[in-house]
Amino acid sequence: SIPLGYFGGIGAASANGILFKGSNFLDLITKLNTVVMDKTGTLTKGVFSVQQVESSMDEQEFLDLLTAVEAKSTHPIAKAIVAYAGEKEIRPAENIEEIAGMGLKGRVNGKEVLAGNVKLLEKFNIGFEAKIKNIEESIVVVAVDQQYLGYVLIADEAKEDAADAVKQLHENGIKQVVMLSGDKTAIVKKVALALGIDAYYGDLLPEDKVARLEEIKKDQARVVAFVGDGINDTPVLAMSDIGIAMGAMGSDAAIETADVVIQTDQPSKIATAIKIGKATKSVVI
Ligand code: ADP
Ligand code: MG
């Protein structure tokens, strides 16, 4: 059913929206036993929407300051916040810094605005109400001129084929599917359980993802793929035996670093890639 040989394998993959950057990966992918995946944008849609706004200042002013800094970011969370602002004119923001795995810092109308997670507030020694640590949903907290002012609650959802993608990996020789995420552990756990993922780790900074992958790779018997989409995923994509980028909405850096690029936003194509590798091998050998 699938064309013969390595060239045929690469062609069959390409017809399925899967780009192999070398025939060696077509062979190596058949030996995979561990697949480590990012959450946001890889297993979930990465399309957030604002659900709720909680602020101790005028809500419109609060949203205007937040939107101004988020307009300078390409993060899926930032896109949700900018979309929520609708047609409204966005204020200029300056001195924007992206703080990996935490959020943003910038200047709007002479005010210093921080927008991100609780780790960001802790990094800048900003006091906040303890209860926000217990919110089991994604929030973006905001501080203006060193003062915590509130948060917006945002939601993301699993991709339609995410559970099937994990199931198909298990059916195609993958012993362990692991999820690594910068998002809160409580959310990561919920998604992992819903999708049938074997192990999960949340609250990870980019360097924590590297440390986790090193730990996983210590077991010599493992052949490990990492699947991700973000700039933050580049180091782990490079470190894994096979780096797989979700290319449909993924960052250019992730696509360039990866060995295999899934050109649609369907994680089930990872199992398709393994199947094509196996079919190719059976005719080459
Ligand atoms: P993931 O591993 O889930 O893809 P990232 O490493 O991209 O997550 O981000 C980790 C966390 O950092 C996010 O869950 C969010 O809390 C925070 N964050 C990152 N960028 C932004 C931003 N532009 N605005 C608000 N929060 C952000
Ligand atoms: Mg991501």
18 with 93, same domain? no
Structure tokens at 246: 């979700």
270 with 175, same domain? yes
Q: The domain that contains 235 carries what CATH number?
A: 3.40.50.1000
Q: What is the dihedral of CA 73, 77, 78, 81, to 10 degrees?
A: 180
pLDDT above 90 covers what percent of the chain? Answer: 81
Dump pLDDT digits (tens) for 143-174: 999 999 999 999 888 999 999 999 999 999 99
Q: Residue 1: pLDDT above 50?
A: no
195 with 242, same domain? yes
| pLDDT higher at 230 or 18 | 18
DSSP one-letter string for 119-152: HHHHHTT----GGGGG--SEEEEEEETTEEEEEE
Ligand 1 centroid from CA 98, angstroms? 10
Query: Atom 26 in ligand 1: which residue has the minimum CA distance?
Result: 116
235 with 257, same domain? yes
117 with 163, same domain? no
Distance CA 191, CA 169 (A): 17
User: Which of 135, 155, 175 is the last residue before a domain boundary?
Assistant: 155
The whole-number average pLDDT for the span 259-267 is 96
150 with 222, same domain? no
202 with 266, same domain? yes
70, 183, 201, 237, best to mutate for ligand 1 pocket (most atoms within 8 Å of CB)? 183
| Count of CB atoms situated within 10 Å of the CB of 45 | 16
140 with 220, same domain? no
Confidence of residue 78 (pLDDT cuts 50, 70, 90): very high
Structure tokens at 87: 């047609």
User: Which of 112, 131, 155 is the last residue before a domain boundary?
Assistant: 155
Question: What's phi and psi for 59, nearest 5 deg?
Answer: -60, -40
| Count of CB atoms situated within 10 Å of the CB of 55 | 17
Q: What is the dihedral of CA 5, 11, 15, 18, to 10 degrees?
A: 90
Q: The domain that contains 85 carries what CATH number?
A: 3.40.1110.10
Its domain, for residue 194, covers: 5-45+158-284
174 with 251, same domain? yes
37, 40, 135, 201, best to mutate for ligand 1 pocket (most atoms within 8 Å of CB)? 40
Our separate counts of H helices and E strands in the chain read 11, 13
**Structure ipTM:** 0.93
SS3 216: helix
37 with 163, same domain? yes
- Active-site amino acid positions: 38
Ligand 1 neighbour 77 (Cβ under 6 A): yes
Beta bridge partners of 148: 143
Which pTM was predicted? 0.83
